[in-house]
Amino acid sequence: MDRSQEMKRVDAYQLHQAMQQTLLDNGVVEVAAIHVADSLTETSLRGVDSHGVNLFPHYVRAVKGGRIEKNPNLTYKVENKAAAVMDADRAFGHHAGAIAMEKAMELAKEYGIGSVGVTNSSHFGAAGYFALRAARDGFLSMAFTNADALVKAHGSTDSFFGTNPICVCAPMIGEDPFCLDMATSQIPWNRVKNYRRWNQKLEDDVAYDKDGIAVTDPHAAVSVKPVGGYKGFGLGMFVELLCSTLIGGKLGADIPAMYGAPMDMARNVGHFFVAYDIEAFTSKKVFEKSLSEMASRIRSLPRISSDDAIMIPGDPEKISRVDREVSGIPMDENIAQEFIESSDHFGFLA
């Protein structure tokens, strides 16, 4: 159920500036504050509310509690031709991720491909933020992250992997890049949290209780279903290989919970970013033309219903952005109150 039409709308620029200033007031270094505000605003404009501005009050608590380093020392513990691994020093994942993707693009310009892993990081928001940045600069790009264990292992009562998203973006002609940004779980955990706040039932067979039994009560849910059953669990393991095993990071099963763990406890989340220089493989113009033609053919396929447009990944987000840039970002009144309590800069939400 889409509740956004019932909510108050907030100007994106005003919200961005207030978030950035609040982080600066709390001692966060300016470049990190900009990356966080950019990521959250961009993500909410695209309609991905589970990973957008709604997370900001939680991040403020994490900064105040010491979980997130305000002025991190980002260093590379591996630099080997087209590969690198960063130690993020408990930075905001949005900040570490933005720097890592820039590094991946630099490597791609030199070697045709650049891959950068990140260890010792924190929640990085939406994977699409990073891959879209690279795709808008002309690269074929990918972004991944692991997370604390919330996805039930196939056939088990327990969870082992996080929602471990996979994101792939690529430039197109005359529109924002193609963007596939999907969790390897059926639903994101933040949707469960939203439904708890709204006292709304979950869809059937998307979440499980402590005994591994499917439930629709969000308050009873402790894990979510891997997308596509055992296949989705396998995709989650693929992401885990990149974000922990390959780069010496912590397994999702061993990462402290984003919600519930002490706010002074570092989480050591891992990310992985890839950029391809399209020109190393083919003409960029030919690539963009081919992708755009593919998208056009898919969108033009016969419809089952005349009311339902045929879309490619990223199309709903493009539609949302057009709407929200004009009408604003929807905000639940309870979240608005959390913003107000986090800083005087959010008085306009009262």
What is the model's pLDDT at position 2?
A: 61
Residue 4 binned pLDDT confidence (cut-offs 50, 70, 90): low
pLDDT tens-place string over residues 48-85: 999 999 999 999 999 999 999 999 999 999 999 999 99
Q: Of 55, 32, 35, nearest to 44 (Cα)? A: 55
Q: Which two tokens mark 217?
A: 């009560």
Q: Which domains does the chain have, with CATH numbers?
A: 4-185+226-293+313-349 (3.30.1370.60), 194-225 (3.30.60.50)
Single out the residue of 179, 178, 172 nearest to residue 288, CA to CA.
172
Q: Could you tell me where the beta strands, DSSP code E, fall in the chain? A: 8-10, 75-80, 83-87, 113-121, 140-145, 151-152, 159-161, 166-170, 178-182, 207-208, 223-224, 269-276, 329-331
Amino acid 306: pLDDT: 81
Q: Which pLDDT score, from 0 to 100, does residue 185 have?
A: 97
Query: So what's the pLDDT on residue 196?
Result: 93
pLDDT at 228 over 90: yes
Whole-angstrom Cα distance, residue 196 to residue 247? 36
Model confidence over 15-25: pLDDT tens digits? Answer: 999 999 999 99
Residue 123, number of CB atoms within 10 A of its CB: 20
Percent of the chain with pLDDT over 70: 99
Distances (CA, A) of 146 to 29, 38, 155, 249, 291: 25, 21, 21, 10, 29
Pairing of strands 269-276, 140-145: antiparallel
Digit-coded pLDDT (tens) for 176-211: 999 999 999 999 898 898 899 889 999 999 999 999
Give the closest residue to 223 by CA, choosing from 159, 291, 301, 145: 159
Confidence at residue 33, expressed as pLDDT on a 0 to 100 scale: 99
Mean pLDDT for the stretch of residues 150-154: 95
Mean pLDDT in residue range 96-125: 99
DSSP assignment of 295-344: HHHHHTSPPSSTTS----TTHHHHHHHHHHHHH-EEE-HHHHHHHHHH-G
Helices 56-65 and 30-45 cross at an angle (nearest 10°) of 160
7 phi/psi in degrees, rounded to 5: -95, 160
Residue of 41, 134, 34 lying closest to 328 (CA atoms): 41
pLDDT score of 1:
53
Q: Note the pLDDT of residue 307.
A: 83
Interatomic CA distance for residues 235 and 254, integer angstroms: 19
Q: According to the model, what pLDDT value does residue 58 have?
A: 97
Say how many C-beta atoms besides its own lie within 10 A of residue 231's C-beta.
Answer: 12
Q: Which residues contact 146 (CB under 8 A, 6 or more apart)?
A: 161, 162, 164, 239, 240, 243, 244, 249, 251, 252, 255, 269, 270, 271
Averaged pLDDT of the chain: 96
* pLDDT 10s digits, 311-349: 999 999 999 999 999 999 999 999 999 999 999 999 999
